[in-house]
Structure 1
Amino acid sequence: MNRASAMVSVLPSRWQRLQIVYQWVLENGDKRTDGWLLVYSPVPLSCIFLCYLFIVWLGPKLMRHRQPVNIKTILIIYNFSMVCLSAYMFYEFTASSWLANYSLMCQPVDYSESPLAMRMARVCWWFYFSKVIELSDTMFFILRKKNNQLTFLHVYHHCTMIFNWWAGVKYVAGGQSFLIGLINSFVHVVMYIYYCLAALGPEMQKYLWWKRYLTSLQLLQFFIVTIHTAVNLFADCDFPDSMNIVVLAYALSLIALFSNFYYKSYLTKKTKSI
């Protein structure tokens, strides 16, 4: 065997490299959260993601020649439950960060097992798990034949949030991440109140004039997250730059997509009515 052949035989194969990366992913997470549901490995979440995409593709086809399913009671219970869960997470993010004297400008992750550090880690997990629960939003649209709601924005947002927050809980359960969860939980309290009222029936439409302002609130949260993350990215702060870069890129993508939705849903219609 010549020297070149010997070197090639020593180099790991593509499969071996993937195994090395996967092992690194498993072993370099936050040891406090590794034993929690859907955290240690990305494989179970990836299976959920693939099933979700399959349902998004197959569901409308199966419902094409069927009547919309009446799930009014389920929707009311689901949306009210999500209001309660979002309110609980908002309270926990606020209380945990306040009691631990979190800094808005620079907050490293506390990887200790102190009561406050674990409280923050737990609410981060609940926030992550809530994003898995929220995949149900799409199933309800399909069952009700609201296919106009199955936009790229909707599917993209739901798919990416579960992976973003899996990484958050796996590696940085706390620190700078808290502000995203805090703001988004508040927005979701308002959003699911809207959905809960809408689920009560057409007679509630006259009370739902504020949908445009809900979209504005969603956009505002992305601008706040963008500014907060950008400041932290260029500051001398002991929080992973890689995570800040991912969050910044993701927030900018949502600003672009939600701005496009806002323009088409409200500004274009207003121009046409004039």
Structure 2
Amino acid sequence: MNTTVELFFGLPPKDPEMKHFPLLGSHWPLTTIIAVYLIFILKLGPKFMENRKPYNLTYVLNFYNIFQVIYNSILFGLSIYYMIINPAYDWSCMMHLSLDHPEKNMERWLCYAYFINKIIDLLDTVFFVLRKSYKQITLLHVYHHVLMTSPVYWVFQFYGFGGQYTTLGFLNTGVHAVMYFYYFISARYPELKGSLWWKKYITKLQLLQFIILFIQPIYVLLFNPGCKFPLFLHILQLIVSTSMVTMFSRFYYLAYVKPKPQKSLKRK
């Protein structure tokens, strides 16, 4: 029984440095942030904007988008170095680095920086509310933002920094660097928005990242069954990636594949 439980969970001792990182010492700060976020975007925000005109956030969005491009590009570049150029992990079994590994602090700070960026991402929806762009606040949008924030915290708490889930951060920061660059161009030069043909390819990139994340645990379980990465985290990755592939596929179909209804011509 103990062997089965150990195989399923396989949790290592908690990283003693975890408590020194802001927002990681307790679940209450993040829980409060998520709760306030949901209450604001679903209830208080729309109520506040009910009798107000949409705010002009052009300058705020320009700064925010270019900030996100730079932030995600830096994380993506560092991820390329530590995962491909000078790999710290064995791709066939991505366990987190040992506490005495020379790159352990870099692993901690890269993961933490990614976590903070997922919190910053929540501003996307806040801006939608303040601009009264409610049609963009879809189930996929909210689900994606919450799912990319809260579970990251709990994985840190139960497993620690790094390991197989670093692949998520590696892929996600690359996709987000491209995505926020698109947002920057479309906000900075609204006259070009209709001609930015590569918008749909951003959704394809998002789909591709979750397909890769779906394949990864299957590959490890089939071809390296001796890997001690926790089984329940493999299962969690499969569940999350499946839900994301399903929802992004549906979004792509409705936005780019499904024929648009033709406007009827009125006789004069």
Q: Same fold (TM over 0.5)?
A: yes
Q: 1:165 aligns with which of 152, 161, 169?
A: 152
What residue number does 1:11 align with? none
Is 1:35 aligned to residue 20 of structure 2? Answer: yes
* Deviations 1:43-66, CA, capped at 9 Å, x for gaps: 111011100111012212221221
Q: Distance in 1 between matches of 2:137 and 2:186?
A: 18
Q: Distance in 2 between matches of 1:104 and 1:28?
A: 22
| Alpha-carbon offset, residue 167 of structure 1 | 2.1
| Larger Rg over CA atoms | 1
Contact (CA 8 Å) 2:89, 2:95: kept in 1 or not? no
| Alpha-carbon offset, residue 139 of structure 1 | 0.4
Q: Distance in 1 between matches of 2:131 and 2:192?
A: 18
Q: 1:131 aligns with which of 113, 118, 121?
A: 118
1:94-243 mapped onto 2 (5 Å cutoff): 94-98=80-84, 99-170=86-157, 171-234=159-222, 235-243=225-233
Contact (CA 8 Å) 1:121, 1:169: kept in 2 or not? no
What residue number does 1:12 align with? none
TM-score w.r.t. length of structure 1 = 0.85
Structure 2: runs of 5 or more not aligned? 1-11, 264-268
Q: Distance in 2 between matches of 1:272 and 1:93?
A: 46
* Deviations 1:143-199, CA, capped at 9 Å, x for gaps: 111100010111111111111211233323112122111111100110000111111
Q: Distance in 2 between matches of 1:40 and 1:245?
A: 26
CA spacing shift, 1:220–1:271, aligned 2, 3 Å: farther
- What is the root-mean-square deviation of aligned Cα atoms in Å? 1.9
Q: Give the % identical residues.
A: 36
Q: 1:45 aligns with which of 20, 27, 30?
A: 30
| Alpha-carbon offset, residue 202 of structure 1 | 2.2
Aligned residue for 2:20, secondary structure, equals: coil
Contact (CA 8 Å) 1:76, 1:200: kept in 2 or not? yes
Q: Distance in 1 between matches of 2:217 and 2:46?
A: 38
Paired residue type of 2:112: W
**How many residues of Structure 1 are paired with residues of Structure 2 in the alignment?**
247
Contact (CA 8 Å) 1:93, 1:120: kept in 2 or not? no
Indicate the structure whose relative CO is greater, using CA pairs within 8 Å and at least 6 residues apart: 2
Q: Distance in 1 between matches of 2:208 and 2:143?
A: 19
Paired residue type of 1:176: Q
What residue number does 1:68 align with? 54
Q: Distance in 2 between matches of 1:66 and 1:254?
A: 35
TM-score w.r.t. length of structure 2 = 0.86
| Alpha-carbon offset, residue 28 of structure 1 | 5.6
Structure 1: runs of 5 or more not aligned? 1-26
